[in-house]
Structure 1
Amino acid sequence: MADSGNNSKTALIEALNGALADHLALYIKTKNFHWHIAGPRFRDLHLLFDEQAAQIISLVDVIGERVRKNDEYTLTSVGSVAKITAIKDQDDVTLTPDAMVAELRDDNRKLLERLEQVKQTSEEANDNATNGLVDDWIDQAEERVWFLNQTAK
């Protein structure tokens, strides 16, 4: 018979590493759009993207350390991030501001789905520390979606 405690911990670590990969990929995409935004809404979107990127990157170490505090290994390279992130690369530097806003909004929604997995798996693994932290991570992602949605034309 499989150890359900071990299975729930494995699921939690997979969800945490997925959330870590998504945060790193979303950070890079958000900075990409911050650097390449152009047009009449430049200043507002340039600042919004920078604020959101800073918020996203601030969680990277926290998430990685949650994995390590569970005595497990986390991501080791850009390649390991690419293998498990739900955030797709975007190399088109000529996207319209509206396309950038919509893509970041949709990617933050994907991140929310991943964070819901962290919430669920942390409950199943009885990891109260992660469970308490993820509520704030979800709130931050919901706020980013809200701001981007309100900014969309």
Structure 2
Amino acid sequence: MERNDEVVQRAERKQRAPLTTPTDLTPEATRNIAGALNSILADVFALYLKTKNFHWHMSGPHFRDYHLLLDEQADQLFAMTDPIAERIRKIGQPTLKSIGHIARTQRILDNDAEYVEPGGMLSELAEDNRMLVGRLREVHGICDDSRDIASASLIENWIDETEERTWFLFEAGRRLDSTGH
């Protein structure tokens, strides 16, 4: 009978234990990487919502092209969120838990304006993506310093995707030259 009680007690202790995942990274490294990745995650969520906002409120003669471009880019941003959060959990740290947590952590500024010109939307999103690339490079450095190859590898792909979004937004936002081209 005592054995069953011991098993139950062990099970209860495990249920009360915080979420931990074993890793060979140091506790300091996991805290630093998770903090940096949570900031990136908050920025990606903020940029996702801003991109969708501009997608929903696009207007003008290039509406269809811009509308589709922003939808594609929003999908790409949203696709980043789960791998970022899961990477944080894989190294044994907690991730963002709510919209409020995102709002407290994000560095990408919201745009709640009633109306934004299409060119202004593209320009603002291009700048936000450019800033995100810089932050991704910073986090890559933190991962390199901690020898977290897996996080660094993911970040390399996100840098490439973010640079592409920046490029597309920049090119789509260029004004036509005097010849109409």
- Normalized against structure 2, the TM-score is what? 0.79
Mapped partners of 1:37, 1:22: distance in 2: 22
Fraction of identical pairs, as percent? 45
Given that 1:101 and 1:152 are in contact with CA atoms closer than 8 Å, whether structure 2 keeps it comes out as yes
Mapped partners of 1:137, 1:32: distance in 2: 22
Q: Which amino acid aligns with 2:166?
A: V
Structure (1 or 2) with the larger CA radius of gyration: 2
Matches within 5 A, 1:1-153: 5-153=26-174
Mapped partners of 1:83, 1:136: distance in 2: 26
Give the deviation of 1:21 after TM superposition.
0.4
Given that 1:36 and 1:93 are in contact with CA atoms closer than 8 Å, whether structure 2 keeps it comes out as no
Structure 1 gaps, min length 5:
none
Give the deviation of 1:84 after TM superposition.
1.3
Structure 2 gaps, min length 5:
1-25, 175-181
Give the deviation of 1:20 after TM superposition.
0.5
1:19-53 deviation digits (Å, cap 9, x = unpaired): 10011000000000000001111011000000000
For these two proteins, the number of residue pairs brought into alignment is: 149
Q: Which has the higher contact order (CA 8 A, sep 6+)?
A: 1
Given that 1:23 and 1:56 are in contact with CA atoms closer than 8 Å, whether structure 2 keeps it comes out as yes
